[in-house]
Amino acid sequence: MEDSVIPGLCLLGFMFFLLAGGVWVALALLGVGLFGMLVFTTSPAGPLLATAIWGSSNLWSLASLPMFIWMGDILFRSRLSDDMFEGLVPWMTRLPGRLLHVNIIGCGIFAAVSGSSAATAATIGKMSIPELKRRGYAEKAILGSLAGSATLGLLIPPSIILIVYGIATDQSIARLFVAGVLPGILLVCLFMGYVIVRALLRPQDIPPLTEVYTWRHRLQSLRRLGPVILLIAGVIGSIYSGIASPTDAAAVGVFLSLVLSWMSGDLTRATFVDGLMSATRTSCMIAFILAGAAFLTMAMGFTGIPAGLARWIASFNLSPYALLAALTVFFIIMGCFLDGISVVVLTTAVIQPMIVAAGIDPVWFGVFIVLVVEMAQITPPVGFNLFVIQGLSNRDILFIAKSAVPFFLILVLAVMLITVFPGIVTYLPDHM
């Protein structure tokens, strides 16, 4: 035990020291990996560092990442998201909770074309918060439903964090995307179910219906939803049908989003350059983190720490359920201080051998880890969705966090459901 635990604690302590000092996550990963190689092995650190960075950067699957990010940035700067919001309104008025469901369905749809939780929160929130306030909805219900529903951006394909997990663990990104579909639908249904129950129990939070929408209005609203539905069908449909790989589908998505943005009159030289530069900065940040994680993974392999820790944890004879419960707490705590991508790449090298040894499906675990990281997105002090919504609403972050508590508990329920019924995650990948 001591052969692996003591070096592991040393590296963990050094990692927290660097992160607490404000060092970039990518540089912290590289620094810890280099420290581990120099102190605990006799292997040539320099050549291995170069090999790890080049190997992590020279991956065809990595090409889908900047494409999906760029697609989301294009849509963020177009009126397609406004059209989507207005197109959903006539369909939601008959449900208990009425337009609060627009937050949930809108986040679910936008998640399917952005892959980012923060982008989903910002895009839907900039439309829904002022509109729902104007119509008299309770602010706590507005912000809570938005904070919780925006986490769908991490799960519903094309999920950026699933791409990162697939690259870090050498899993099929297409299988991970397919695995995220049913859990994503499950979460949408659970969120909507909660809003319905809350509206029935607290009708005073829902303003009276002032506008009447006929079936004619509803059918006309489909024209506003058409472009986004076309984009989802082009991207996700091409992956599920086997016509295109995730990388090819990402290129299709960028092309379609550019065409739709041009047709709506929002594609100008300024918006094109802004979207491209924003996507480039985000992609470079993630690629840099992945390079650092690749070297840390290699260094951990040379030190033997992951295998030793896996044997140590195995000595406790934890059941898979107990192991998952412990990992859930661990990931939530990590997510309180780091963003989701950093949590995944920081922990993969150590966690993966434990998962394999416990007989847990790596594809199922990818969805599990995304759900747990989603919880951290609405947990202070570093819940990124909370910060985004704070900027949109000018509300105290603790007020937003309290509003999101029911949705945090729903995410806990979702984790329990996929643990007890793993087929929710594995059925589609096993039958695709």
In one-letter notation, the amino acid at residue 256 is L
Measured CA to CA, the distance from residue 149 to residue 85 in angstroms comes to 14
Q: Hey, CA dihedral for 238, 243, 249, 252, is it positive or negative?
A: negative
Burial of 375 (0-12, 13-18, 19+ CB in 10 A): buried
| Cis peptide upstream of residue 246 (ω within 30 degrees of 0) | no
Is 4 within a domain? Answer: no
* Distance linking the first and last C-alpha atoms of the chain: 42
Measured CA to CA, the distance from residue 223 to residue 368 in angstroms comes to 36
Is 8 within a domain? Answer: no
Total domains in the fold of the chain: 1
The CA-based angle 173-294-388, given to 5 degrees, is 65
Measured CA to CA, the distance from residue 35 to residue 63 in angstroms comes to 30
pLDDT at 69: 77
Measured CA to CA, the distance from residue 289 to residue 341 in angstroms comes to 8
Is 15 within a domain? Answer: no
Is 50 within a domain? Answer: yes
Measured CA to CA, the distance from residue 324 to residue 283 in angstroms comes to 31
Is 13 within a domain? Answer: no
Q: Give the tokens for residue 65.
A: 């990442």
Nearest residue to 73 (alpha-carbon basis) of 22, 38, 6, 118: 118
pLDDT at 3: 56
Measured CA to CA, the distance from residue 70 to residue 279 in angstroms comes to 5
Is 12 within a domain? Answer: no
User: Treating both helix axes as pointing N-terminal to C-terminal, what angle do 246-263 and 64-76 enclose, rounded to 10 degrees?
Assistant: 20
What averages of pLDDT result for each successive group of 10 residues across the chain (432 residues)? 63 77 79 84 80 74 75 75 74 80 83 72 78 83 87 79 84 87 91 90 78 74 78 76 76 85 83 86 77 76 67 71 84 70 73 80 91 80 72 81 89 92 90 73
Q: Give the tokens for residue 292.
A: 């650092």
Is 189 within a domain? Answer: yes
Domain span at 271: 24-431
Is 193 within a domain? Answer: yes
